[in-house]
Structure 1
Amino acid sequence: MKTKAQTQMVFVFILIAIVIGLIVLFAYKGISSTVNTSEQVVGAKLVTSIKADVSSLRRSRGSSQIFEYQVPGKITNICFIRSCSGDCSTLYSGSLPIALSSYSADDPQKNMFLLGKGDFVLEAISLGSLDVDYDRDGITDDFHCFKTPGRLKIRILGTGANATIQNAQ
């Protein structure tokens, strides 16, 4: 091969490498956006399902049902806080995690919190009138955070006026 032909081949190889690099880059962006979208859908379905289940069982006095929910990977904990009316600042007596205390003081109607890595609040949701009895001893707890390695399994108990969140184990 002559040197002129070799020089032309080098440019062809460089162009091929650039095209392959662009294809890989766009494929990566497409896959990552698809994964993010699917995580958002799972998160929205989680919130909608919990709201619907709490709402339906709240009205059924004495009914109890165990639910298992799929949780997106970005959510590490799901916390439930007992509802209160009026001034809630003295209710929890400093026992709430720092991430939740500011949210509960600002908007006491929010009683379900989705926490991400580092216990950052990703979303705060209102489930209506809610009690928390994690250990099912009949004594209402102020709050409980469930670690969620991909799944959340809870028991929801209807009392007629509100719903009680319990550990499903």
Structure 2
Amino acid sequence: MNVDSKAFRRARVARDVRFDGRFFVGILSTKIYCRPSCPVPTVPDKNVRYFPTAAAATEAGFRPCMRCRPECSPGSPAWLGTPSTVSRALRLIGESGLEEGGVEGLAERLGVGSRHLRRLFIQHLGATPSTVAHTRRLQFAKRLIDETAM
């Protein structure tokens, strides 16, 4: 094991996000490659191969992990994960509510399924997208009543 492999191993075992995009971890037993910070269980060193790029891993016959999405560019919503999806959804709800197709339309605009979007909202916010949109409308109505002469 050379010096780079030792550093890569330490980063992989520690799930250090600072190394995401700097190298990729190929799992020989499954032919899947991941980012160093992937939350999958740690595999034995004998089943690991390191790649400098995602393209190199793909060229070697590995497919990308569905959990950590290593094939996506750093900083993209897919790379940032579910908090990014929820924050984008909140921004869209703030701009237009759910008038354009309801939760299904919002999920389609985000590129996820409506059931998955509901689960993400409950996981991160404790409420469904419909409830969040309704609460925002109520808050806006209360603000109009308080701040305008009606």
Which interval holds the TM-score relative to the shorter structure? Answer: under 0.3
- Greater radius of gyration (CA): 1
Instruction: Give the alignment's TM-score, normalised by structure 2.
Output: 0.20
User: Counting strand residues as a fraction of each chain, which structure ranks higher?
Assistant: 1
Instruction: Give the alignment's TM-score, normalised by structure 1.
Output: 0.19
